[in-house]
Chains A and B, each alone.
Chain A
Amino acid sequence: MRYKIIFVLTFIVVGIFSFNQARSQGFEKFLRNSQISGNFQFDGMYYNKDSMIGAPDVPQKVLMNAFANINYTNGPFSAGFRFENYLYALQGYDARYKGIGIPYRFVSFEKDKFTITVGNSYDQFGSGLVYRTWQDPSLGFDNSLDGINVKVNPWKGITLKGIWGKQRYYFDLGPGVVRGADAEFSINDIFTKLNDKALRVSIGGSFVSKYQEADDPVYKLPKNVAAYGGRASVSYKNFLFNGEYAHKINDPSTINNRIYKPGNASLLQMTYAKKGMGFYLAAIRTDNMSYKSDRNAEGIDLNINYIPSLAKQTTYSLPAIYTYGTQPNGEFGMQAQGIYTFKKKTKMGGKYGTNLSLTYSRYNAIDKKQIDENTPIDSTGTLGYKSDFFKIGKNAYYENFNFEFSKKFSKTFKLIVDYFYIQYNATVIEGHAMPNIHSHTVVVDMTFNINDKHSIRSELQHMYTKQGDGSWAFGMVEYTIAPKWFFSVSDMYNYGNSIAQKRLHYYNVATAFAVGSTRIALSYGRQRAGILCVGGVCRYVPAANGLMLSISSSF
């Protein structure tokens, strides 16, 4: 009911604005400037019980997720909403996504260097260490802020932002109020004399505070918890340096076992890029930096901030089995990546050039020591632990070494070869005790363009490991008839499982048809249980067997 009222009010406001604009601009001009855009996504699945892979019986048999974004713009004015429908949500999505509603709607306008948005908004301060609201339908993640978002550019090179509201919590709002401000200064744009200098500098700072009622009979809980940070970005010719530091005051929560230690996070990134060559180096350290607008929230609910992942991400099925999920209670991570392109018409480059990339990423625990002899680490109602900022913890969380060779041999044939070594600490990342996984995976990805319309792509993957579920093999063939048809057949085979009954095939056949911007896809097969991660944020995906229909469209 509440959403219906908000929805109606939103469109009354839209109507009033539109009417005023129409009157002042003239109706024809008003119509000419009006633009409506949107997109629609439907995913429905018919589930079969499959006790071999652990896919449960689904009482509803068919589950679905669907949403549609409808946006209207007219010059400086815009408004929109997202309709969402979970009847009931697909397996693996949180069961609190249940029902139909409009949990996202906004009205925004720009006037006199101000951009004012009321309703839901997505935004981030710096790299998000103290504030980031975002959405990813594949993760079932949406922490949009329902309130006000004001952005102003008083001078060239200065951007100030302010936010105030509550966060989305499925079809409701979280209990905490989030308030924040951010300022960013681009030094070269502010001072005209520096406009053309090769050395470019920008600095910024953010302050965020959350408020939540506290009447706990056991713990002295802070009602207001602030987090703040500073950042700087310096670029010179081919080099770019970014640095950000964030600090959070005492924030006892379910995630950190109700300890009172302040949190902090540091992120350093360096990039060197020139034609045909690039290098990236980054390091991150987080210490008790989970920041949520409900101290009792768990998992990925109601995150105010975002901890970026420096782990290599891949779309290839087998190495993606072991994907890193960031650990907000503390981690020390780094990534080094080098990319080199051999020029065309050289011995190594051949006719079309050759790309090589090397990536190494690693995460460890941070150092943790007892605060005194009698208090175990992470004891509830204490400062939790002491941590030496520059000392790396012994417990390895994740390690990934990746080498990629990519080459177009002819107009019709392209080859990508990847090697991944992954060390994966499932005890920490997935929360269940098991030995660390050491896996070696080779991927061969070949694309044959038969002609302008017809192409075949195939993937052959093999993962060798003695731990976890053991070794896997994967094969896939895709046939595309551009621009309308797509067919694929794939199979993941867990041939190396130490339990003979679990040496299973996870087969899948799929087809898709596209007409204009609408795509209809149908697939049938098995899906293995595991975790799905996007940018270090993860959700558990249960085993499933069934027929899936997806429809997406935009206008």
Chain B
Amino acid sequence: MKTKLFIVSTLMLSSVAIFFSCDKVEAPYMIVSDVSDCPVPVFPDITSPEKTLLIEEFTGHKCVYCPTGAHYIHQIKQQTYGSRVVALAIHSGGLSEPEPGNYDLDLRAGTFGEELYAYFGSPAQPRAGFNREKIDGTNVFYGTPATWQTKAEQVLAQSPLMTVQIINNYDSASRKLCTHVKSKFLSANAQNLKIALFISEDSITGYQLNNNNTVGTTPEIENYVFMDVMRDAFAGSFGEVLTNGGVAQDSAVIRTYKKTLDAAWNDKHCKVVAYVYDAATDVILQVAEEQVY
């Protein structure tokens, strides 16, 4: 009888221990900074809204085809689209892992880039998405950089459903950045929309593998200039809810975010990229980019 009591008591106590193995989280649930010291500015009106395009590119400094991809993205940005085209280079996967020696540069944005890379099926690199539209009816991300210009034009030919504006207030002494994003709807919207924001950095130099001698030396480029490198996220890899349908025409939502820039980044080369996307389909409706200062 004593043995049985011992067994039952032990198992019951174990159960109680397991039962109390729980962490109840109290509100606020997100690690958000107090943005009361980030006064919201007045946004100028956009008189002629135009469709904007985000080219998301999965890349890596050990990817021999990636300089060709970056070359074509650069060409697209050099066209007459102006600020209508925004690029975000997401260094991710095994080809972006730093290693001792020439390739010790870590251009990955913490876990954010990896989460996006995994979410979109860890495709071969380089692969670029164009507002995450299934342009061929099947794929979201595409190889063959020579075809990217055509895909960009297809998306840019669409009419905008909304506008996205960014205003940054940056204090270079403290490196405190206040970012304000205004999303305005040009027509009533019933979609569940999310907003995602990232910091990107231009003009980072380092080694890059390459197999295309028309874009640089092969088999590697010593002082390769990395552009539009995703560095950090304001609201996680997938952003946060912006609206849940029922949005009236001409209504607007302004969100304010705050972040202290990493000392390792060149703040003069940093930009904020913000985009609004459909939570059900992942398709990006509109994107904007603004220099930190």
Given contacts A155-B4, A218-B30, contact A162 B21 (CB under 8 A): no
> B185-202 toward A: CB 8 Å interface, digit per residue (1/0)?
000000010100000000
Given contacts A220-B29, A220-B30, A381-B240, contact A154 B14 (CB under 8 A): no
Residues of B close to A377: CB separation below 8 A: 244
Segment with Cβ contacts to B, from A221-229, A238-246, A269-277: A221-229
Expressed in whole angstroms, the Cα–Cα distance for A226 and B23 within the complex equals 8
Residue of A nearest to B26 (CB): A220
> A56-70 toward B: CB 8 Å interface, digit per residue (1/0)?
000000000000000
Residues of B close to A155: CB separation below 8 A: 4
Check A493 for interface membership: any CB of B closer than 8 A.
Answer: no
Expressed in whole angstroms, the Cα–Cα distance for A129 and B202 within the complex equals 51
A217 near B110: Cβ-Cβ < 8 Å: yes
Given contacts A181-B11, A225-B23, A260-B25, contact A217 B31 (CB under 8 A): yes
B19 near A162: Cβ-Cβ < 8 Å: no
Residues of A close to B20: CB separation below 8 A: 226
Residue of A nearest to B232 (CB): A217
Pick the contact of B31 from A207, A209, A218, A252 — CB < 8 Å?
A: A218
Expressed in whole angstroms, the Cα–Cα distance for A216 and B110 within the complex equals 10
Check A378 for interface membership: any CB of B closer than 8 A.
Answer: yes
- Closest CB of chain A to B17's CB: distance in Å? 9
- Closest CB of chain B to A349's CB: distance in Å? 52
Residues of B close to A257: CB separation below 8 A: 241, 279
Check A219 for interface membership: any CB of B closer than 8 A.
Answer: yes
Expressed in whole angstroms, the Cα–Cα distance for A381 and B242 within the complex equals 12
Chain B 259-282 residues near chain A, CB threshold 8 A: 279-280
Check A74 for interface membership: any CB of B closer than 8 A.
Answer: no
Pick the contact of A154 from B8, B22, B24, B29 — CB < 8 Å?
A: B8
Given contacts A218-B235, A222-B24, A224-B23, contact A382 B18 (CB under 8 A): no
Expressed in whole angstroms, the Cα–Cα distance for A379 and B279 within the complex equals 11
Residues of A close to B4: CB separation below 8 A: 154-155
Given contacts A162-B11, A378-B241, contact A222 B18 (CB under 8 A): no
Chain A 204-261 residues near chain B, CB threshold 8 A: 207-209, 211, 216-226, 228, 249-250, 252, 257, 260
Expressed in whole angstroms, the Cα–Cα distance for A209 and B20 within the complex equals 8
Interface size class of A (residues with CB under 8 A): 35 or more
B8 near A249: Cβ-Cβ < 8 Å: no
A180 near B21: Cβ-Cβ < 8 Å: no
Tell me which of B11, B23, B28 has the highest count of chain A C-beta atoms within 10 A of its own C-beta: B23
- Closest CB of chain A to B221's CB: distance in Å? 32
B30 near A376: Cβ-Cβ < 8 Å: no
Residues of B close to A181: CB separation below 8 A: 11, 14-15, 18
- Closest CB of chain A to B43's CB: distance in Å? 20
B244 near A180: Cβ-Cβ < 8 Å: no
Residues of A close to B252: CB separation below 8 A: none
Residue of A nearest to B235 (CB): A218
- Closest CB of chain B to A268's CB: distance in Å? 24
Residue of B nearest to A298 (CB): B119
Residue of A nearest to B234 (CB): A218
B29 near A219: Cβ-Cβ < 8 Å: yes
Pick the contact of B25 from A158, A207, A250, A433 — CB < 8 Å?
A: A250
Residues of B close to A249: CB separation below 8 A: 22-24
> A499-526 toward B: CB 8 Å interface, digit per residue (1/0)?
0000000000000000000000000000
Residues of B close to A382: CB separation below 8 A: 29
> B229-259 toward A: CB 8 Å interface, digit per residue (1/0)?
0000101100011011100000000000000
Check A437 for interface membership: any CB of B closer than 8 A.
Answer: no
Expressed in whole angstroms, the Cα–Cα distance for A224 and B30 within the complex equals 17
Check B7 for interface membership: any CB of A closer than 8 A.
Answer: yes
Residues of B close to A224: CB separation below 8 A: 21-23
Check A187 for interface membership: any CB of B closer than 8 A.
Answer: no
Given contacts A155-B4, A160-B11, A217-B110, contact A179 B21 (CB under 8 A): yes
Given contacts A180-B18, A209-B18, contact A160 B23 (CB under 8 A): no
Check A201 for interface membership: any CB of B closer than 8 A.
Answer: no
Residues of A close to B235: CB separation below 8 A: 218
Residue of A nearest to B118 (CB): A296
Expressed in whole angstroms, the Cα–Cα distance for A218 and B30 within the complex equals 6
Residue pairs across A and B with Cβ atoms less than 8 A apart, 22 shown, are A152-B7, A162-B11, A183-B12, A207-B15, A216-B236, A217-B233, A220-B29, A220-B31, A222-B23, A222-B24, A224-B21, A224-B23, A252-B29, A257-B279, A260-B25, A260-B29, A376-B192, A376-B241, A378-B244, A380-B240, A381-B240, A382-B29
Give the A-binding residues of B (Cβ under 8 A).
Answer: 4, 7-8, 11-12, 14-15, 18-25, 27-31, 110, 115, 192, 194, 233, 235-236, 240-241, 243-245, 279-280
Give the B-binding residues of A (Cβ under 8 A).
Answer: 152, 154-155, 158, 160, 162, 179-181, 183, 207-209, 211, 216-226, 228, 249-250, 252, 257, 260, 296, 376-383, 431, 433
- Of all A-B residue pairs in the complex, the 5 with the closest CB atoms, nearest first, are A376-B244, A226-B22, A222-B23, A381-B30, A209-B21
Additional A-B contacts beyond A181-B18, A223-B23, A376-B192 (13; CB < 8 A)? A158-B8, A179-B21, A183-B11, A183-B15, A218-B233, A220-B28, A220-B29, A222-B23, A260-B27, A296-B115, A378-B192, A378-B244, A383-B27
